[in-house]
Amino acid sequence: MTCSGLLFAEELETGEVNRQNEVWLKPGKTFAVPIDIEEERTVLHWEFTSHPKDIVFSVNYRSNQSVNIADAEAIVAPCKCDSHKQTVTGELTAKTSGIYTLIFDNTYSRLTSKKIHYKLAYKKL
């Protein structure tokens, strides 16, 4: 699994990190975007597209970095998204602090690389 650096929710709010990103995902690979949310009742919003075909998307939760990502709790179950046809949007409200990881999964594809364009936003309730 390829992973972006750990993002902090506050960095998204202040614009310290780029909220819009693009990544090429090779066949058989996954890409993870871990976001450290330190406050409860924080809303994490995402939107993404893929090209040229669909992608599997999920969101996992870990209480801290010492928890293995394989042992993370599924918050948004893996779902094949037709994000090549329309933008997929979603959000979650963090009930507890911890690391919320957005996962783009292309392991089912044997031949096709996917270009994923994603945008993140954050707000406190």
What are the tens digits of pLDDT across the range 54-97?
Answer: 999 999 999 988 888 888 999 999 999 999 999 999 999 999 99
Instruction: Supply the DSSP string of 82-104, one letter for each residue.
Output: -TTTS-EEEEEEESS-EEEEEEE
Please report, as a single letter, which amino acid is at residue 30: T
Q: In this structure, what CATH number is given to the domain that contains residue 16? A: 2.60.120.680
Q: How confident is the model at residue 52 (pLDDT cuts 50, 70, 90)?
A: very high
Longest dimension (CA), the chain: 43
State the pLDDT at residue 78.
97
Site of tokens 């650096």: 5
In the predicted model, is pLDDT for residue 14 greater than 70? no
Of residues 91 and 6, more confidence is placed in 91
Q: How many domains does the chain have?
A: 1
Site of tokens 């507890």: 96
The residue range of the domain holding 91 is: 2-124
**Positive or negative, the Cα torsion across 46, 116, 106, 86?**
positive
Arithmetic mean of pLDDT, 11-36: 80
Return the exposure string of 21-55: e unless at least 16 CB atoms fall within 10 Å of the residue's CB, then b: beeebeeebbbbbbbbbeeeebebebbbbbeeebb
Cα distances from 125 to residues 41, 93, 116, in angstroms, run: 6, 9, 29
Backbone angles phi, psi at 26, to 5 degrees: -70, 160
